[in-house]
């Protein structure tokens, strides 16, 4: 039995996410979406391409994520790397959409040492985050959650009457190969799901 998964959460100051959404929406919707599929082939969550971090409209959020990742590193890093200089960079950033009544993203993990999710609305009824089965509240609006990317995680169903939006990203530790963190997690019996990147989200 594993110890509970450590994670970091905070509430970000309000910023004009709607303008960022509007400014980049045509680009995000331009044929680069990847639908998640569950075991029965049903669509669940739609994921846009992961290059939002390269756009100026999203730089305020990227800066916030990188700042808080530095604060969280000593608590979330594997013991072997807790004293490592936390030079963490967002290398992927994308949006997830889950329509009302749809199940959330299926269990998966990442190569990256840290993953981040930002919830502009943040209501648990829209689908909580699960870290190895441990439910993590996404309330209130503006919540940012950071956790080890190699942890198996998934999202509950959207039981609200509104589309659920989340901005997710992966961070890389400069000078350390991402595979190192997968190997360390698997040595502890963790990271048991298929390790994936956004390009492998469509399993249908």
- Walking along the chain (204 residues) 10 residues at a time, the average pLDDT comes out as 85 83 62 46 65 89 96 91 86 88 84 93 93 94 94 91 91 86 79 52 28
Radius of gyration of the chain (CA): 16
Describe the crossing of helices 17-28 and 59-76 by its angle, rounded to 10 degrees.
100
Q: Give CA–CA dist 68/88, Å, rounded.
A: 10
CATH number of the domain to which 122 belongs:
2.60.120.620
117, part of any domain: yes
Q: Which domain holds residue 117?
A: 8-198
204, part of any domain: no
126, part of any domain: yes
The tally of domains found in the chain comes to 1
Distance between start and end Cα atoms, the chain: 32
**Contact between residue 181 and residue 78 where contact means Cβ atoms under 8 Å apart:** yes
134, part of any domain: yes
**Contact between residue 113 and residue 81 where contact means Cβ atoms under 8 Å apart:** yes
3, part of any domain: no
| Phi, psi at 24, each rounded to 5° | -110, -5
Provide CB contacts within 8 A for 181, sequence distance 6+.
78, 111, 112, 113, 148, 149, 150
Nearest to 95 by CA among 153, 172, 18: 18
The predicted pLDDT at position 25 comes to: 65
1, part of any domain: no
The predicted pLDDT at position 124 comes to: 96
203, part of any domain: no
71, part of any domain: yes
């Amino acid at each position: 039995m594993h110890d509970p998964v450590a994670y970091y959460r905070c509430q970000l100051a309000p910023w004009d996410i709607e303008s960022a959404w509007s400014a980049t929406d045509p680009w995000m919707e331009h044929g680069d979406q990847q639908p998640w599929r569950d075991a029965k082939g049903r669509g669940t969550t739609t994921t846009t391409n992961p290059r939002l971090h390269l756009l100026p409209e999203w730089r305020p959020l990227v800066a916030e994520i990188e700042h808080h990742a530095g604060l969280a590193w000593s608590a979330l890093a594997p013991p072997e790397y807790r004293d490592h200089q936390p030079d963490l960079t967002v290398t992927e950033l994308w949006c997830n959409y889950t329509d009302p009544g749809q199940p959330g993203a299926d269990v998966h993990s990442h190569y990256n040492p840290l993953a981040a999710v930002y919830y502009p609305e943040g209501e648990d009824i829209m689908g909580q985050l699960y870290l190895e089965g441990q439910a993590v509240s996404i309330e209130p609006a503006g919540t940012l959650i950071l956790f080890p990317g190699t942890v198996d995680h998934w999202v509950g169903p959207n039981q609200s009457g509104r589309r659920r939006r989340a901005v997710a990203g992966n961070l890389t530790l400069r000078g350390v190969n991402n595979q190192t963190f997968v190997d360390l997690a698997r040595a502890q019996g963790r990271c048991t799901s298929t390790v994936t990147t956004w390009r492998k989200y469509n399993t249908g």
